Amino acid sequence: MKLLKYATYRLLQSIPVLIGISIITFLLANLGPGDPVSLMLQGQEQNEALVRAIEQRYGLNKPLHERYLTYMGGLLEGDLGQSIHYRRPVTDLILERVGPTLLLVLSAYAFALVTAIPLGVIAANKRNEPSDHASRVAALIGVSTPSFWIGIVLILIFAVKLEWLPSSGLIYPWRPPSTYRSIDGHLELYYQSLRHLLLPMIALGTLQMATIMRVERTQMIESLQGEYVKLARAYGVPERTILRKHAFQVAQLPIVTIVGANLSTAIGGAVIVETVFNINGMGQLFVDSIQQNDYQLMMGVTMMLGVLFVLGVIVTDISYAYIDPRVTYGESE
């Protein structure tokens, strides 16, 4: 139960962080240029009385701190206010859009881990051989190429030229579009879902993959030089087992850290990849909110991304404590 206690402790610790995020986003959204009232009155005849009435209704005539407190009050009840552009509750919009983004980010990480870890291990094992050099070049390219460019190139090759994969949109297994409802069986649905996911997943995951691969290689090389590997060899442990178990296990600890630390890059990247692939996720919602000067939506999405990031970091910390026996759960022994 130490784990549960630690998790609770970390969740409580995150409250001040979230309050901080809320203050900063609130200030940025409200002090930024653009006037929400004129946005609401777009195309209509503007008169003083109408503007006053709208300001009255949304509480825009009150001082900033009072408005913040009102906003926080709503936040505690799960009410993120009303989107001006969509004319719907922000909470509803976010709940609709958070699924695709999570699907994209998580599958990008899955892709990155599944490819990067074996490649990193191979590179470490074949240190300074051609395959190691090849992986180094590939990683360098992966790190230095922006995800939108990778996305566009992937679309050009696999969607436009070869016509193997669709170029835009996602299909969510939990919310199949009407065109696929007629298709019999879940298998086809999952297949279509995967086909749509493949390109954006690779576009978003490449950066993570390249980073993880380099860290994996470095860690494996270090681990393979460890005294415990020498000991295992001296006791006749086969080289395979040393690579897969003795050296490998120790080398994975920093990978967890990297995954957690890069979460912000991944979420930021998702915003761009969603735009490139026309995916209706949080990223697109965010871009819309900025373009439409929809300050309620902007705050809502930022808060939500902040919560996702904080949760991700907590999960990282907990799994670190779970994997590494030397990390204690914040209590002295």
Stretch that binds other proteins, among 131-139, 160-168, 224-232, 310-318 (CB under 8 A): 224-232
Stretch that binds other proteins, among 6-14, 49-57, 242-250, 286-294 (CB under 8 A): 242-250
Q: By CB under 8 A, is residue 45 in contact with other proteins?
A: no
Among 230, 257, 319, 322, binds other proteins (CB under 8 A): 230
Is the Cβ of residue 184 or residue 227 nearer to other proteins in the bound state? 227
**Hey, how many other C-beta atoms are within 10 angstroms of the C-beta on 62?**
14
Is the Cβ of residue 47 or residue 319 nearer to other proteins in the bound state? 319
Q: By CB under 8 A, is residue 231 in contact with other proteins?
A: yes
Stretch that binds other proteins, among 46-54, 142-150, 159-167, 322-330 (CB under 8 A): 322-330
Is the Cβ of residue 164 or residue 322 nearer to other proteins in the bound state? 322
For residue 239, what are the CA distances in angstroms to 122, 226, 229, 246, 325?
A: 13, 14, 9, 10, 24
Tell me the HSE value of 133 on the side-chain side, using a 13 A CA sphere. 3
Distance CA 188, CA 185 (A): 6
Is the Cβ of residue 8 or residue 225 nearer to other proteins in the bound state? 225
Q: By CB under 8 A, is residue 330 in contact with other proteins?
A: no
Distance CA 255, CA 210 (A): 12
Distance CA 321, CA 329 (A): 7
Is the Cβ of residue 174 or residue 235 nearer to other proteins in the bound state? 235
DSSP output for 256-287: HHHHHHTHHHHHHHHHHHHHHTT--SHHHHHH
Q: In angstroms, how far is CA 98 from the centroid of its own chain?
A: 10
* Residue located via tokens 């890069």: 262
Q: By CB under 8 A, is residue 196 in contact with other proteins?
A: no
Report in angstroms how near the CB of residue 321 gets to other proteins at its nearest: 13
Is the Cβ of residue 43 or residue 325 nearer to other proteins in the bound state? 325
Q: Tell the burial category of 116 from Cβ atoms under 10 Å away from its Cβ (0-12, 13-18, 19+).
A: buried
Q: By CB under 8 A, is residue 3 in contact with other proteins?
A: no
Q: Which of residues 248-277 bind other proteins (CB under 8 A)?
A: 249-250, 253
Report in angstroms how near the CB of residue 324 gets to other proteins at its nearest: 7
Q: By CB under 8 A, is residue 240 in contact with other proteins?
A: no
Stretch that binds other proteins, among 34-42, 59-67, 197-205, 227-235 (CB under 8 A): 227-235
Distance CA 276, CA 254 (A): 32
User: Which residues, 6 or more positions from 170, have their beta carbon under 8 angstroms from its beta carbon?
Assistant: 100, 103, 104, 193, 196, 197, 200, 277, 279, 280, 281
Query: What tokens does 109 get?
Result: 């990480």
Is the Cβ of residue 16 or residue 325 nearer to other proteins in the bound state? 325
Among 237, 290, 311, 315, binds other proteins (CB under 8 A): 237
Distance CA 225, CA 219 (A): 10
Is the Cβ of residue 37 or residue 253 nearer to other proteins in the bound state? 253
Binding interface with other proteins (CB under 8 A): 226-228, 230-238, 246, 249-250, 253, 323-326
